[in-house]
Amino acid sequence: MDAGPFELLISLIRMASREEDKPTIDTGLSASAIFDFGARELRGLTGYGPSGTARREIFLECITDIKAMNPSATGSVSVILAFLREFHILSKVGPTHRS
């Protein structure tokens, strides 16, 4: 799977982590609901991609975001945890987990 869906979800998570937690006028969803949705969907996709190079770029972007203490740093932590969770699962069950 290419990086497009991952980039979209990561942007959504970071954006939601910068916002106040009150319902928006357009959707009626709170920032925390959007954050939770993005994080849940990202966790579900991490077993299918992206490539190693794209993952490294995602990690570096997240680390830079956290290091700069940007308002979206909480979202970057969530992104890293989603990928680390998948790595942890794969290390326990082996490569057959990726069907």
DSSP letter string, 76-94? HHHHHHHHHHHHHHHHHH-
Domain that holds residue 39: 4-97
* pLDDT tens by residue, 6-50: 999 999 999 999 887 666 667 778 889 999 999 999 999 998 888
Q: What was the pLDDT predicted at 92?
A: 59
Number of domains forming the structure of the chain:
1
Widest distance between CA atoms in the chain: 45
Angle at 94 between CA 93 and CA 98, to 5 degrees: 95
Residue 34 Cα distances to 26, 80, 88, 99, angstroms: 13, 18, 25, 29
Query: What's the predicted TM-score (pTM) here?
Result: 0.78
- Check whether 74 has a pLDDT greater than 70: yes
